Amino acid sequence: MTDFGDTARATPVVLTLEQASADAADLQAGLSQLAALVAGTLGLDELLLRVATAAARAIPGADGAGVTLLRIDGEGNRVEALAASQPFVRDIDEIQYVTLNEGPCITAALERRTVRSGSLGGERMWPRFGPRVGRMGVHSALSLPLLLPGQVIGAINVYARGKDVFSDHAAELGELFAAPAAVAVHNAQILTQALALTVQLQTALSSRPVIDQAIGLLRGRSGSSAEEAFERLRALSQKDHTKLANVAQHIVEDAVRRARARHTDI
Amino acid sequence: MAISARLAAELSILSQTLENPGNSIAQSMQRLSDEISDAVESYLGLTVTIAPGTTPITFTTLRDGAQPASVRTSARFTLTGAAQGAGGTGPVISLIVYAATPGAFVDLAADLAWITRANPAHITLDQDLTVVLEMPTTAPSAVAMINQAIGVLIGRGHSPEQAYQRLSRPSASGVVNRLDAAAGVLASLDPNLESEFPIQ
């Protein structure tokens, strides 16, 4: 495994002009995709999938890539969202997060540094993950932490079937890609959370008026408190396996019908 | 994030109406606050304003120890388009975020405008530098009181429209105060309380 946090250990890379030019074009295409994906409002899952696809294109040698949002706390690693550009990436990440809780992404996120391996089958860092993934015919991995100031929000995992596929140059390109990707992903998280909150509030506030009117009706009939009337509504909802708002709507509509009939009779 | 007892009670009331009350509104507000705090170091707090009709409902919460007087910048995001249905008739929903460092929201505002393809008019900076912590007449509990009073009046034979008109009558001083009128209706249910606004 190579630690890219220590630049003194990085191996000098000599590229042909054509290779450098092609790599630059791929990175530019990947970054363009990254910019384009925020041009329309996307769900977080779709945005992550597009980031994964763009990463696989931007990083030389990649056969597939995945993006994982990871919350690391004292109780372990919690995967909050996951996207993969290819099915085999999803299979590998399932082994990493669910089966073994061990692998390059977890190391990259925990230690906040880029990690890579060119021979997963014999990788000592992940003695259970490496051989298992090697047997799947995937031998190279590059994991790039998604870093914000003071924290890591996840990682991009890039895989290749060949051995020693990811050079220092590939890792450097990957880090160039990961920096704006982290910001895009985090802003999408903020937007997702803001929308989730507003939808919750909208849902609650749209059904709350009729619930309160039903509470008022029940209070007027029985003299009970608001809390007692609400509990009665909730009991009716549970008994009939009907939404609370629907029970309230039925009570109010029934009372309004009777009120209007009374006026008609008069 | 500091959620006052009053706000916690209001959010709890609203959460009870959700399909999954375990996924509480207070938790969602906490998560959003945490996400913004991660992006903007000097973040102080947020306000959500929802205007389903003529009476806006406002929730404000500040980070632990944050003071309204520390606010030096704000950003208001109007989320109406994103949150409303296909019919385009949803309520106007605004998210206002506050920070202590001038200019702290410039990048976030630019990114969110790009992500949402928002009309620039829907994102405004530094127009909400005064934090209103308490809006008693527009809190959910106040709106709930008015709706409960409408329910009482429907039970007494009023149509919903008549009930609303009944609460909208000017008082002797010529002022329309539906909250006081609703309190009077509800107080009339308790024989131990003397109502300021006896039912006629």
Asked if B87 and B30 sit in the same domain, the reply is yes
Of B25, B36, B38, the CB nearest to A204: B25
- Chain B hits for A263, Cβ within 8 Å: 157, 159
A199 CB near a chain B CB, below 8 Å?
A: yes
User: Would you tell me how many other CB atoms lie within 10 Å of the CB of residue A129?
Assistant: 25
Q: Point out which residues pair with B46 in neighbouring strands.
A: B61, B97
Q: How confident is the model at residue A169 (pLDDT cuts 50, 70, 90)?
A: very high
How much is the average pLDDT of A24-43?
Answer: 50
Please say which residue of B133, B153, B172 terminates a domain.
B133
- Which of the residues A44, A47, A80, A190 would you substitute to probe the B interface, choosing the one with the greatest number of B C-beta atoms within 10 Å? A190
Q: How confident is the model at residue A172 (pLDDT cuts 50, 70, 90)?
A: very high
Q: How confident is the model at residue A18 (pLDDT cuts 50, 70, 90)?
A: low
Instruction: Write the pLDDT tens digit of every residue in B31-47.
Output: 889 889 888 889 999 99
The answer to the question of residue B170 being in a domain is: yes
Task: Look at strands B43-51 and B57-62 and give their pairing.
Answer: antiparallel
Asked if B121 and B153 sit in the same domain, the reply is no
Both tokens assigned to A95: 């082994």
The answer to the question of residue B101 being in a domain is: yes
What are the structural domains of chain A?
A: 2-194 (3.30.450.40), 199-265 (1.10.10.10)
Domains contained in chain B, number? 2
Asked if B105 and B40 sit in the same domain, the reply is yes
Residue with structure tokens 């909400």? B128
pLDDT at res. A208: 81
Asked if B144 and B114 sit in the same domain, the reply is no
How much is the average pLDDT of A14-32?
Answer: 56
In angstroms, the separation between the Cα of residue A3 and the nearest Cα of chain B is 26
Q: How confident is the model at residue B122 (pLDDT cuts 50, 70, 90)?
A: confident
How much is the average pLDDT of A68-74?
Answer: 70
Q: In the predicted model, what is the mean pLDDT of chain B?
A: 77
Q: Point out which residues pair with B19 in neighbouring strands.
A: none
- Chain B hits for A148, Cβ within 8 Å: 38-39
Q: Point out which residues pair with B76 in neighbouring strands.
A: B96, B124
Specify the 3-state DSSP secondary structure of A129: helix
Asked if B84 and B169 sit in the same domain, the reply is no
The answer to the question of residue B193 being in a domain is: no
The answer to the question of residue B124 being in a domain is: yes
A96 DSSP assignment: I
Asked if B128 and B176 sit in the same domain, the reply is no
How much is the average pLDDT of B68-87?
Answer: 72
In angstroms, the separation between the Cα of residue B197 and the nearest Cα of chain A is 16
The answer to the question of residue B109 being in a domain is: yes
Residue with structure tokens 């008019």? B121
Contact state of B83 with A198 under an 8 Å Cβ cutoff: yes
Give the Å distances, CA to CA, from A177 to A105, A156, A159, A180, B5: 16, 10, 16, 6, 45
- Chain A hits for B16, Cβ within 8 Å: 230, 234, 244
**Looking at A1-15, A106-120, B108-122, which range is the least confident one?**
A1-15
Alpha-helical segments (H) within A38-167: 44-58, 87-94, 104-111, 129-134
Asked if B54 and B107 sit in the same domain, the reply is yes
- Chain A hits for B48, Cβ within 8 Å: 197-198, 201
Contacts of A191 (CB under 8 A, 6+ apart): A41, B112, B115, B116
How much is the average pLDDT of B10-21?
Answer: 70
Residue of B nearest to A245 (CA): B17
Distance CA(B178)–CA(B184), nearest Å, equals 10
The answer to the question of residue B17 being in a domain is: yes
Judged by CB atoms within 8 Å, which residues 7-66 of B form the interface with A? 13-19, 23, 25, 28-29, 31-32, 35-36, 38-39, 41, 48, 50, 52, 57, 59
Judged by CB atoms within 8 Å, which residues 40-69 of A form the interface with B? 40-42
**pLDDT of residue B176 exceeding 60:** yes
**pLDDT of residue B173 exceeding 80:** no
How much is the average pLDDT of A70-98?
Answer: 79
Q: In the predicted model, what is the mean pLDDT of chain A?
A: 81
Specify the 3-state DSSP secondary structure of B96: strand
The answer to the question of residue B195 being in a domain is: no
Q: How confident is the model at residue A15 (pLDDT cuts 50, 70, 90)?
A: low
pLDDT at res. A162: 96
How much is the average pLDDT of A205-209?
Answer: 79
pLDDT at res. B38: 84
pLDDT at res. A43: 63
pLDDT at res. A8: 33
Contacts of B58 (CB under 8 A, 6+ apart): B47, B48, B49, B50, B132, B135, B138, B139
Asked if B20 and B100 sit in the same domain, the reply is yes
Asked if B18 and B88 sit in the same domain, the reply is yes
The answer to the question of residue B198 being in a domain is: no
Q: How confident is the model at residue A1 (pLDDT cuts 50, 70, 90)?
A: very low
Q: How confident is the model at residue A44 (pLDDT cuts 50, 70, 90)?
A: confident
Question: In the A/B pair of chains, how many CB contacts fall below 8 A?
Answer: 176
A49-63, A71-85, B132-146: which is most confident: A49-63
Give the Å distances, CA to CA, from B56 to A254, B144, B196: 29, 13, 26
A213 CB near a chain B CB, below 8 Å?
A: yes
Instruction: Write the pLDDT tens digit of every residue in A226-266.
Output: 888 988 988 898 888 888 888 999 999 999 998 888 766 55
Give the Å distances, CA to CA, from B87 to A246, B79, B83, B149: 22, 15, 11, 30
**pLDDT of residue A17 exceeding 80:** no
The domain of B77 spans 5-133
Of B147, B155, B186, the CB nearest to A255: B155
Asked if B154 and B126 sit in the same domain, the reply is no
How much is the average pLDDT of A39-45?
Answer: 57
**pLDDT of residue A5 exceeding 60:** no
pLDDT at res. B19: 63
**pLDDT of residue B67 exceeding 80:** yes
Asked if B170 and B93 sit in the same domain, the reply is no
Asked if B62 and B154 sit in the same domain, the reply is no
Distance CA(A198)–CA(B48), nearest Å, equals 8
Q: Point out which residues pair with A148 in neighbouring strands.
A: A151
pLDDT at res. B139: 59
